[in-house]
Amino acid sequence: MSAQQLLDLFNQHYDFNSFIASGNEITVANLQSFTNQFTHIYGEHLTGKTHLLKSWVNLASGRRQNAIYHDALELSTEQLSNINLDEYRFIAVDNIDTLSEDQQIELFDLFNHIKLNNRDNYLLTSSTINLNNSKIRIDLKTRIYSGLVFGLKNLNESELLNALIIYSNREGIKIGEAELKYLLHHYTRNLGKLIQLIQKVSNSALALKKAITIPLIKQNLN
């Protein structure tokens, strides 16, 4: 993925230590410091947004703060309207660019309730695109932009290659540097998608009882 990665795409425990922060050090430091009440991050699918939001919630929980993570893709309007600010001080809402009109109104009301009542709740949100290019309500955008907004930056080729080498070694996947470079040049620069493909190729190699080669990679790309 991007500099925002979770090498631990398949790790159930999310923390900032398993996130590749290259190029996104300021974003990560800001999230870890809890210095801003409202923060929004955006980046394409599988760039590590969910990893960061869950790491933020886990860090708050580890400091004995009540924190909760919600994914807008699985969140009903009723659930959003029933978020209890007395129960949860730290609230993360992922993928807000997928919210319906009614859900956007509920999220706007949540912002307002925190802001206008001088509450000490913290709200972290994310989207797959820059909200300036989205159909999110103007009033909600205004509330979000009253805080800090960070766009996640992509890893460069050498950083991506290093991340893939670390991942492959850790998972015991025998794949050469030449094969990894082939993937980088012929597939995508999205770390999450690269990791998924490496797993797919590894499973194919195991099933066929063959080594991972460029021809095998080509088969899986097709």
The per-residue pLDDT for range 11-48, each reduced to its tens digit, is: 447 888 777 777 789 999 999 999 999 999 999 877 78
| Cα distance between residue 79 and residue 82, in whole Å | 5
| Cα distance between residue 50 and residue 29, in whole Å | 16
Phi, psi of 21 (to 5 degrees): -95, 5
Q: pLDDT tens for residues 74-114?
A: 999 999 999 999 999 999 999 999 999 999 999 999 999 99
Helices and strands (H, E) in the chain, number of each type: 9, 7
Q: In the block, which residue shows the tokens 């969140």?
A: 75
Phi, psi of 43 (to 5 degrees): 180, 155
Q: pLDDT tens for residues 112-129?
A: 999 999 999 999 999 999
**CA 65 to each of CA 12, 56, 88, 118: distance values in angstroms, whole numbers, following the listed order:** 20, 11, 8, 18
182 touches 217 (CB < 8 A):
yes
| β pairing state of 5-6 and 19-20 | antiparallel
